[in-house]
Amino acid sequence: METVESVSTSHGFGYLVDHNICLTYEEFVEECLARVSQSLKSLSLFGFPFFRYNSNILLLISEYCHNLVSLKLHSGWLYVDNMNPMPMLTTLTLESLRLEDKHLNQLNKCFPNLQLLSEFAITKTVKNLTLDSGNTKPTDNRDSKLTIGKVFMVFPNVSSLCLKSSAWLEVEASMNQEGWGSLDGRKGLKRICAYLKLGDPSWTFSSVACMLDQCVGLSEVSLLVHVRHVGNVCHNFMSNCIARWPRLKWRWGIWSDEILKDIWIKIL
């Protein structure tokens, strides 16, 4: 069948518990993909057994499915080393899967044009978290999906949080007139770093205030301002922050798309 565009397995495989059957499952997938991969745009694999070994499913998919747009995987322990990039893929759903932290960067590189990612399960082991976003332009609160509340819900034990510029724009866009609602104290969060664009300093200050006022355990805040806003606007913004939260340790810096390293200019 040379024109198959969508393949979805049933979840019966999830009840098989023999290790050899698990390997056979990969062999079955490889043989199937080799036959239908040319026209395949959507693939859903449900319930390959959850053993403590690295599944090569993603490697097989990246080897054969060059035109895949949507991918859904359920149950397993994923392995991504030597995986080929999949620039056509825009939608990825990962459910009940295990993926080691060291493989996250490689996974991101393999899906450069991803537009939609499924929600993460609650992850209690992550302590240091850096958030970025594919959106480079500000959105309004109707479009933004990233909120600080969701971040803390998924990563409840984060002690250090860094928000890159695009992620901060998403966070600002999620703010409404009532702010972000309750962040449940966030006593475990000790450090925050954010990359800011002061296009509307008063709005950005309100967003910073919403977060800092509720994260009562904070001890250190690092804010980097885009280089084009350095000047009186930046100076006034910094002064207002220090006056509002004098007990915190402050670090100020400059970031730019053109420079590789951030420039720290003041530590208070």
Shared domain for 108 and 237, answered yes or no, is no
Domain count, the chain: 2
Shared domain for 200 and 95, answered yes or no, is no
DSSP state of 95: E
Q: What are the DSSP calls for 156-217, one per residue?
A: TT-SEEEE-HHHHHHHHHT-BTTBT------TT--EEEEEE--SSHHHHHHHHHHHHHH-TT
Q: Can you tell me the distance from the alpha carbon of 120 to that of 153, in angstroms, rounded to the nearest whole number?
A: 10
Which one of 88, 118, 148 terminates a domain?
A: 118
Which one of 55, 90, 118 terminates a domain?
A: 118
Order across the sheet with 42-46: list the strands: 6-8, 42-46, 70-77, 91-98, 116-117
Shared domain for 143 and 18, answered yes or no, is no
Do 226 and 201 contact (CB within 8 A), yes or no?
A: no
pLDDT in tens, the chain (268 residues): 667 777 776 554 444 444 334 434 677 777 777 777 778 888 887 755 444 455 778 888 888 888 888 888 876 677 787 888 989 988 888 776 777 766 777 777 888 887 666 756 567 777 888 888 765 555 554 455 667 777 887 788 889 999 999 888 888 877 654 445 556 556 789 999 999 988 889 989 988 988 888 888 899 999 999 988 888 888 899 999 999 999 999 999 999 887 768 888 876 6
Q: Can you tell me the distance from the alpha carbon of 176 to that of 173, in angstroms, rounded to the nearest whole number?
A: 8
Do 197 and 165 contact (CB within 8 A), yes or no?
A: yes
Please give the pLDDT value at position 183: 61
Please give the pLDDT value at position 42: 87
Enclosing domain of residue 95: 1-118
Shared domain for 61 and 182, answered yes or no, is no
Shared domain for 38 and 139, answered yes or no, is no
Which one of 118, 141, 171 terminates a domain?
A: 118
Shared domain for 256 and 148, answered yes or no, is yes
Shared domain for 61 and 9, answered yes or no, is yes
Do 166 and 133 contact (CB within 8 A), yes or no?
A: yes
